[in-house]
């Protein structure tokens, strides 16, 4: 009878194994992409697109750390992207072009801004927290538009990518791709260790029941503030990489729309799943890139003028499509992968 009772649990290990393989397959795909790009003859385009995917993967993972594990819906997280980008741009304009200086400055600036704004924002809850993070993000956006010496609303173009110990190695697209992959892997490993630690367990506990965590002797505010600062620093790193990838930085880095896109990436991939945030960023950016062509090709039964109009207004399809996925695919893409397959 005992053996019969234990039989139904047999499929569980295969599901667990499949889920554990997802991050391995994901990073292996990123590692193999340059080789495939070279053989395809379109390495410049493929490398640029996937580099952008990895950078936004870091930013989405940063947000997932507080949104998925701490239930903190920040609508101003793009501000940290802008801080990282402007740290690179402003320092470069003053002759400080080495990433070994730019990145620590960007991380320190992001940490200070996160500490100051988080200490205020985290004293609120729910929609008030959303609105106050939005307000801080917009405050930084309007500050950037007023920086006339650094391009103001038009932004600023970088003369070149950052140096590394005086070397211009990042000018090589393949080298820059591997640096971004290393940063993605490093932030993923760090975040995964953080979530699995005692700190991560307390953070998840505050998400479930703040009062209970206070009753057992923890101070949720401190844990949430530290998580907010770490999240801001990770997003600041993504901003540094984004500025180098685009060789341009502007206030558009930190608009509330960009913050909304980061939230969509996290929800699309699956809340509370670090590799899900990376998958969500990839799905979002790849859809954004290829949806116009897909719509144009799919409307073969329509006139050429209608097809062109549909392709030009692809965002009218993109927005509702994302909303439908969020509404009907519970748990996002990772939620689909967690569902046991029978038969």
- Determine which of 170-174, 243-247, 252-256, 293-297 has the lowest per-residue pLDDT on average: 293-297
- Determine which of 31-45, 87-101, 200-214, 243-257 has the lowest per-residue pLDDT on average: 31-45
- Determine which of 6-15, 143-152, 213-222 has the lowest per-residue pLDDT on average: 6-15
The HSE-up count of residue 181 (CA atoms within 13 Å, CB side) is 19
Among 197, 175, 195, 307, CA closest to 241: 175
Which pTM was predicted?
0.90
Give mean pLDDT, residues 183-206: 94
> Measured between alpha carbons, how far is 45 from 268 in angstroms, rounded to an integer?
25
> Measured between alpha carbons, how far is 229 from 195 in angstroms, rounded to an integer?
15
**pLDDT tens-digit readout, 222-232:** 999 999 999 99
C-alpha radius of gyration, the chain, whole number: 21
**pLDDT tens-digit readout, 135-156:** 999 999 999 999 999 999 999 9
> Measured between alpha carbons, how far is 6 from 62 in angstroms, rounded to an integer?
40
Among 16, 31, 2, CA closest to 184: 31
Going by pLDDT thresholds of 50, 70 and 90, the confidence category of residue 291 is: confident
> Measured between alpha carbons, how far is 79 from 86 in angstroms, rounded to an integer?
10
Report yes or no: 284 and 261 within 8 Å, Cβ to Cβ.
yes
> Measured between alpha carbons, how far is 112 from 232 in angstroms, rounded to an integer?
9
Instruction: Please determine, for residue 326, whether its predicted confidence score (pLDDT) is greater than 60.
Output: yes
Between 102 and 21, the higher pLDDT residue: 102
Report yes or no: 149 and 89 within 8 Å, Cβ to Cβ.
no
> Measured between alpha carbons, how far is 138 from 194 in angstroms, rounded to an integer?
30
Q: What is the mean pLDDT of the chain?
A: 87
pLDDT of residue 217: 83
According to DSSP, the residues that pair with 163 across neighbouring strands are 98
3-state SS, residue 172: coil
> Measured between alpha carbons, how far is 75 from 131 in angstroms, rounded to an integer?
7
Fold topology of 2-7+14-342: ABC transporter involved in vitamin B12 uptake, BtuC (1.10.3470)
> Measured between alpha carbons, how far is 127 from 121 in angstroms, rounded to an integer?
11
Question: H or E stretch including 156?
Answer: strand 156-157
Between 126 and 111, the higher pLDDT residue: 111
Report domain extents, the chain: 2-7+14-342
157: DSSP letter? E
Q: Which residue has the tokens 């490093």?
A: 186
Report yes or no: 47 and 177 within 8 Å, Cβ to Cβ.
yes
Alpha-helix residue ranges (DSSP H) falling in 150-219: 173-196, 198-208, 210-215
3-state SS, residue 122: coil
pLDDT of residue 4: 40
Instruction: Please determine, for residue 11, whether its predicted confidence score (pLDDT) is greater than 50.
Output: no
SS (H, E, C) 261-317: HHHHHHHHHCCCCHHHHHHHHHHHHHHHHHHHHHHHHHCCCCCHHHHHHHHHCCHHH
What is the per-residue DSSP string for 219-251?
-HHHHHHHHHHHHHHHHHHHHHHHHHHHTEE-G
Give, in degrees to the nearest 5, the angle at Cα 270 between 236 and 292: 80
> Measured between alpha carbons, how far is 193 from 185 in angstroms, rounded to an integer?
12
Report yes or no: 221 and 44 within 8 Å, Cβ to Cβ.
no
């Amino acid at each position: 009878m005992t053996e019969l009772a234990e039989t139904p649990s047999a499929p569980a290990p295969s599901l667990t194994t499949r889920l554990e393989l997802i991050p391995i397959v994901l990073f292996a795909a990123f590692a193999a992409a340059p080789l495939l790009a070279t053989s395809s003859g379109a390495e410049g385009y493929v490398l640029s697109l996937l580099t952008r995917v990895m950078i936004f993967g870091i930013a989405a993972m940063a947000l997932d750390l507080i949104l998925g594990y701490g239930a903190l819906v920040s609508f101003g997280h793009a501000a940290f992207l802008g801080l990282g980008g402007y740290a690179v741009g402003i320092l470069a304009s003053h002759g400080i072009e080495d990433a070994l200086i730019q990145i620590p400055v960007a991380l320190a600036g992001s940490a200070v801004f996160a500490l100051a704004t988080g200490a205020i924002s985290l004293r609120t809850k729910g929609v008030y927290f959303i609105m106050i993070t939005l307000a801080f993000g917009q405050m930084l956006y309007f500050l950037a538009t007023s920086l006339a010496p650094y391009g103001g609303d038009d932004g600023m173009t970088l003369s070149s990518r950052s140096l590394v110990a005086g070397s211009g190695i990042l000018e090589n697209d393949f080298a820059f791709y591997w640096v971004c992959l290393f940063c993605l892997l490093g932030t993923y490993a760090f975040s995964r260790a953080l979530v699995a630690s005692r700190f991560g367990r307390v953070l998840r506990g505050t998400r479930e029941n703040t009062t209970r965590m206070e009753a057992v002797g923890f101070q949720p505010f401190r844990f949430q503030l530290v998580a907010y600062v770490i999240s801001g620093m990770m997003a600041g790193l993504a901003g540094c990489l984004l500025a180098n990838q685009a060789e341009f930085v502007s206030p558009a880095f930190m608009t509330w729309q960009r913050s909304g896109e980061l939230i969509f990436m996290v929800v699309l991939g699956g809340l509370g799943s670090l590799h899900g945030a990376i998958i969500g960023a990839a799905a979002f950016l790849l859809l954004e890139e290829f949806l116009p062509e897909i719509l144009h090709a799919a409307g073969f039964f329509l006139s050429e003028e209608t097809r062109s109009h549909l392709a030009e207004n692809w965002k009218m399809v993109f927005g509702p499509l994302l909303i439908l996925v969020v509404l009907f695919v519970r748990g996002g893409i990772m939620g689909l992968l967690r569902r046991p397959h029978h038969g």
